[in-house]
A and B are shown apart, each in its own frame.
Chain A
Amino acid sequence: MGLLVLLSLVLITVSFRSTALDGAQGTAAAVLRPFEVAADRVSRPFRDAAGWTRGLIDAKQDNKRLRAENAKLRQQVILEESSIQENVQLRDQLNYHGPPSVADFDQVHTVVLTKPQNAIDQSVSIGAGSSEGLRVGSVVVSPTGGLVGTVDRLFAHLAHVTLLTDNQSAVTAIDLTYPTAVGIIQPGGGGSDVLVLDLVSKTKFVAEGDTIITAGSIGKDKLPSMFPRGIPVGTVTSESSNDINPFKNIQVKPLVDFSSLRSVIVLVPKR
């Protein structure tokens, strides 16, 4: 028992303080991967059946809501397409250099291998690593485009991703409708997936339902943002202010359902 405890402490120290064991851990995790995939495939039909049954209950309501939403979005797309064309023309005329956007990165599509394992854990492991061009700090988004988190540990064919809901995550973000409302997106605490847009001045206007996106910054600054501009983070669910707090209290519902992530896209520098 004493020996095993000592061995555990040595492992913790070496693993936490250096990358000496990363190679062995990456190889062992890669060996385990087929078993995890097999377990996932065996259990998938049961989970799908449960999901299908649950989906049937909400289907009628969803259908009505989505039809209305679809009509609204169709109008919005037409307006936005003309705005994009105008934007491209004006950028060319002005020779404007803005912060990098998602289009400036290559996309690596990969599977989510393991989900958070306990209440404290806010991380997932994914099936792509340094061999696929990932770097520590690479931004991870969901297939629908919402911000998921960043790569924090890298192996040859695997990577460890810290989710946006982790206590150590912080992202500069802006309100898409009122871009002068700049703040920091942080986890709301309490174990839920709710986020908080902090440090937004009381003088700025933010409304419920607004979309929050990453602010990004031009990479030539001393401290450039890791995140390209324009990645959707979520929508504002509540906004208030009081006399004690110098900033607004803004709650944001993330676009991504972190508990049901099955695949993600990692943004890597263009080769």
Chain B
Amino acid sequence: MDGVKAALVLFVASLLQLAVLSEYRQFRTASIVLVALLSIALLRGSVFGAVAGFGTGLLLDTATLGTLGVTALLLTVAGFWIGRYGETTARDRFHAPYVSVAVVTVLYAFGLVALQFVLGQPAPAGLVARTLPLALLINLLLTLPVYALIRRLFPPHELGDRVREVRLLG
């Protein structure tokens, strides 16, 4: 069930990014897809995050007619890494989604530059560095509503799975 919900949320986020937010130059540097993916990965763990990242990346690469696999690779790594963070040190920490979004926004931007460079495509690191503060700000502002919504859709496992009784063995 979580898989279907995640697919639906990320599909809607991708459509929002492609059809609405990319209309505005300021929002082009930010990404609601990245924020939604990281929120889901934080709440559902590394493997879930990696699979969700791969699927979303592939969807974006397909829709934009770009090189297949570029966004998929970056989002797979981002989803896995933040999922791992969610499984370990980030549990119940208020600042976890904000820290995750801030760090991954920076790493995603420079990861894309590095990948473009490896592929022999234009990789203007200076331009990315200049647009990064705005991207960071918008992504952090998006984190508050997006994470709140996704937390309602994907309640943390700890609450539902908490042990309610003790059964003696032997």
Contact = CB atoms under 8 A, between A and B. Distances in A.
Contacts of A47: 20, 23
Given A5-B76, A8-B57, A125 B70 contact: no
Nearest to A153: B65
Interface in A58-90: none
A168 B122 contact: yes
Contact of B77 (A5, A21, A43, A153): A5
A25 B68 CA distance: 8
A109 interface: no
B60 A8 contact: no
Given A39-B16, A117-B28, A12 B127 contact: no
A218 interface: no
Interface stretch (A28-36, A204-212, A229-237): A28-36
Nearest to B77: A5
B81 to A, nearest CB: 9
Nearest to B29: A119
Contacts of A114: 18-19, 22, 63-65
A153 B66 CA distance: 9
Interface residues of A, number: 48
* Size range of the chain B interface in the assembly: 35 or more
Given A1-B47, A36-B63, A117-B22, A8 B73 contact: yes
A155 interface: yes
Contact of A36 (B15, B57, B70): B15
A25 B123 contact: no
Q: Is the interface of B mostly helix, strand, loop or mixed?
A: helix
Nearest to B83: A1
B112 interface: yes
B54 A25 contact: no
Interface in A102-140: 114-121, 123, 125
B68 A21 contact: yes
A55 interface: no
A232 B118 CA distance: 35
28 contacts: A1-B46, A1-B76, A4-B50, A4-B54, A4-B72, A5-B77, A9-B73, A11-B68, A12-B119, A15-B67, A15-B68, A25-B68, A35-B11, A39-B18, A39-B20, A47-B23, A114-B65, A117-B22, A117-B64, A119-B135, A120-B123, A120-B128, A121-B64, A125-B65, A159-B65, A191-B130, A259-B25, A260-B23
Interface of B: 11, 15-20, 22-25, 28-29, 31, 46-47, 50-51, 53-54, 57-70, 72-73, 76-77, 80, 109, 112-113, 115-116, 119, 122-124, 127-128, 130-131, 135
Given A4-B51, A39-B15, A43-B19, 11 more contacts: A7-B54, A9-B69, A40-B19, A47-B23, A117-B17, A117-B28, A119-B29, A119-B109, A120-B122, A160-B65, A191-B130
Interface of A: 1, 4-5, 7-16, 21, 25-26, 28-29, 32, 35-36, 39-40, 43, 47, 114-121, 123, 125, 153, 155, 158-160, 166-168, 189-191, 259-260
